[in-house]
Homo-oligomer: A and B are copies of this chain.
Amino acid sequence: MMSDDASALSTAQRLRQEIENDIAAGLLIPGERLDEVSLANRFQVSRTPIREALQQLAMAGMVEIRPRRGAVVASLTPERLYEMFEVMAELEAMCCRLAARRLGPSDALALERAHRSCEAVRHDHDAYYRANEVFHQAIYAASGNTFLAEQARLLQRRLQPYRRLQLRVRNRVQNSFSEHERILAALMAGEGEEAAGIMRPHVQVQGERFSDLIASLKLLGAA
C-alpha cells in the first residue's frame, strides 16, 4: 500500500543471484560444469527453476549453454577480457564526465565516505577490493544516469572474478588509491574530462598489467 515491493523475486531470479554470487566469488571456476541435478539438489528445488536460472545467466554472459551438452561457467579468452576491460574503462569514464556535471550533495558525501573506507583498509587486499567496488559504484550512481549505472554494475560484476586476482599485484593497491584521490578531486572540482582521463587507465588493463591478468587467468585454469 505504501510502497509496492519491487524486490519481489521469483525463485528463478533468486537462484540466479545465488549462482551468480558463487561465480563472482570464485567458488565456481570458469569452464566448470553446472550440473542441473546437482544444483537442484543443492537448492532443494526441481530442475525446472534451475534451468530458468541458467538461461538467465546465459543471457548475462556468465554461463555458456551448449545445447544438449549442458551449461558451464563462461570462460573468457584473453582477447575478450581485454575488450571487456576496454568497454568498462569507457563506461566508467562516462560516469565521471556525467558525475562531474550532475554531482549532488548526497552523491558527494557518498563518494567521500567510500574513499575514506578505501583509505582505512588499504593494507588489507581483500577488504580494499570490496571498498574499491563500493567507491566505483558510488561514481556510477553519481552519474545520475540509472541505466548507465546498472550497465556498469553488471559489467563490473562480470569482470569480478578476474579483477579480484589482479589487485594482488605489487603496489597496485597503493597506486589505485592515489588514482582514486585524483579522480575524487577532479569530480569535486567539476572537471569531468579530467576525472574521465584518470579513470580510463585506472580501469583498463594494458601493458604489463595485461600480462599480469593473463597470468592470473592461467592460475584460475589450473585450480
Interface set of A (CB-CB < 8 Å, partner B):
8-10, 12, 48, 51-53, 55-56, 58-60, 65-67, 80, 83-84, 86-87, 90, 94, 145-148, 151
Contact = CB atoms under 8 A, between A and B. Distances in A.
Contact of A80 (B10, B56, B86, B146): B146
Contacts of A48: 48
Interface class of chain A by DSSP: helix
A87 B147 contact: yes
A51 to B, nearest CB: 6
A8 B147 contact: no
A160 B60 CA distance: 20
* Oligomer: number of copies: 2
A101 to B, nearest CB: 12
B55 A12 contact: yes
A87 B148 contact: yes
24 contacts: A8-B67, A10-B65, A12-B55, A48-B48, A51-B52, A52-B52, A52-B55, A53-B55, A55-B55, A55-B56, A56-B58, A56-B59, A59-B59, A80-B146, A80-B147, A83-B147, A84-B147, A86-B147, A86-B148, A87-B94, A87-B145, A87-B147, A90-B90, A90-B94
Contact of A9 (B8, B67, B147, B148): B67
B8 A145 contact: no
A67 to B, nearest CB: 4
Given A9-B67, A86-B148, A87-B145, 19 more contacts: A8-B66, A10-B65, A12-B55, A51-B52, A52-B55, A53-B55, A56-B58, A56-B59, A59-B59, A83-B146, A83-B147, A84-B147, A86-B145, A86-B147, A87-B94, A87-B147, A87-B148, A90-B90, A90-B94
Nearest to A148: B87
Contacts of A65: 10
Nearest to A85: B147
